[in-house]
Every structure is written in C-alpha cells, then in structure tokens.
Amino acid sequence: MRPLDESETTAVFGKLFKFVGNNLKNIVENPSHEGPDSNPGRYCFRLQKNKVYYVSEALVKRATNIARPNLVSLGTCIGKLTHGGSFHLTVQSLNLLASNAKHKVWLKPTSEMSFLYGNHVLKGALGRITENIAPGDGVVVFSMSDVPLGFGIAAKSTQDCRKLDPNGIVVLHQADIGGYLRMEDDL
C-alpha cells in the first residue's frame, strides 16, 4: 500500500472531476467518522496492487501492520490503474459518485433492467435529465426512486437529447450494480 504519486493523482482526480465537478473538494476534504478515535480524520487515496482505495486516515494507520501480500482491501475501492497509467472507475465507487454527482439521469422503471444488464441508455428510457450536460461528461444513472444504478459517459448534450429519436443512445454505459452479480471475480 502506498500513496499515489503525481501522475496517478492527476489521472484519478481528472476522472473524478468529470463526474463530480467542483464537488471534488467535498470528496477530498470530507471529515470521516471511521476509526476508533473520536476526532474525525480525513480521507486519503492509497494504491494497493493497481487498485486505488478511498480510505480514512485512521484505517490507513492501522493497516500498516498488515503485510503487502496479505492486504486485500481497505475502505472503498474506487477504481483500477492500468499498465499505461490511465485510471478506470469501477462500480464500487458508485456510492461516492452518487452523493456528489453533478450530472444525473433518471431511468423509467421499465428500462432499469436493460441498463443493469450492461446496455447503453436509450432516449426512450429517460425519465429525467439534468440540464447543461455536455457530450463527454460523466453521468450517474439513477432509478426513479433515487437508487443509484451505475454511471457512464454522456453521448449527447441535454439539448440534443430532446431532438433525438427514441432509440438513440444518450449515455454510454461504463459500470452498473449488476456487475456485482455478473463480474464478481473481476472487481
């Protein structure tokens, strides 16, 4: 387990910024009530076996006891770093993203299952959409009951979405909670 270096940090923050925008400040400076101490510490990012974890400092301190080959996971995993140095977010970061998301999309109840199988979001499935989405922005997908289902990249801006035909793709699928069942071993 080690802290992230410069390039890794920029990659991670860059990806996060796509989804949460200025709320990134919230994420980094969130007081955490984990850990047995009574004063809340802060959260930090750590790297273990090419996975980036978002952990509170109290946990990090106590995880130093555990040897590197035996440490499996700490706090929340938010994504993986590839060999080439780029960073991909995984579905386990959903809770973190959903609470700080800038761009959101809500799906109709009938089309939830299609997204949970890994398909892209079509125009006909949209219930609501936030304003001012630009193509290439990170979008978090919710159900109509405000349960986060996954996230993806916007394919069209909000204006263009209105003119689209019902089978046009609005959000390109990146990760969804169905992944916990489909790809448990790959997480």
Partner 1 sequence: MAATALSKKKTTKSQKAPPKKKQKNEFFSTKHTATKELSDHSDTEDEEIVQNEDSEGDIGGSDSVSELSSDGDKPFTDDFLQGSEEDEGSKSGSGSDSDSDSDEYDIEKKSRAIDEERAREEQEADEEMQLNIKEESDEFRLPTKEELEEESERPPDLPSIQRRIKEIVRVLTNFKNLKQEGAPRKDYIEQLKKDLASYYGYNDFLIGALVEMFPVVELMELIEAFEKPRPMCLRTNTLKTRRRDLADVLINRGVNLDPLSKWSKVGLVVYDSQVPIGATPEYMAGFYMLQSASSFLPVMALAPQEKDRVVDMAAAPGGKTTYIAALMKNSGIIFANEMKPQRLNSLTANLHRMGVTNTIVSNYDGKQLPKVLGLNSVDRVLLDAPCSGTGVISKDESVKTSKSLEDIQNCAHLQKQLILAAIDMVDANSKSGGYIVYSTCSMMVAENEAVIDYALKKRDVKLVPCGLDFGCPGFIRFREQRFHPSLEKTRRFYPHVHNMDGFFVAKLKKMSNKKPNVDPSDPPENTEEGTRLAENEEEGTRLAKEEVGLSQSVKENSKRERTKLTKEKQDSSDGATGNGNVESLSTASKWKKRKFPSKEDVSKAREEKRQALRAEKRKVKSAS
Residue 9 or 111 with smaller CB distance to partner 1: 111
CB of 71 within 8 A of CB of 48? yes
CB of 148 within 8 A of CB of 140? yes
- Find the shortest distance in angstroms from Cβ 113 to partner 1: 8
Q: Is 27 in the site for partner 1 (CB under 8 A)?
A: no
The helix or strand, by DSSP H or E, that contains position 105, with its residue range, turns out to be strand 104-107
53-71 burial by CB neighbour count: b if 16+ within 10 A, else e? bbbbbbbbeebeeeeeeeb
What is the three-class DSSP state of 46? Answer: strand
Q: Which of 7, 10, 95, 132 binds partner 1 (CB under 8 A)?
A: 95
- Find the shortest distance in angstroms from Cβ 64 to partner 1: 10
- Find the shortest distance in angstroms from Cβ 143 to partner 1: 7
Tokens found for residue 65: 């006891």
Contacts with partner 1 in 106-165 (CB under 8 A)?
Answer: 112-113, 116, 143, 147-149
Q: Which of 25, 62, 128, 162 binds partner 1 (CB under 8 A)?
A: 62
Q: Contacts with partner 1: how many residues (CB under 8 A)?
A: 38
Which 8-state DSSP code applies to residue 41?
Answer: B
- Find the shortest distance in angstroms from Cβ 77 to partner 1: 7
Q: Is 35 in the site for partner 1 (CB under 8 A)?
A: yes
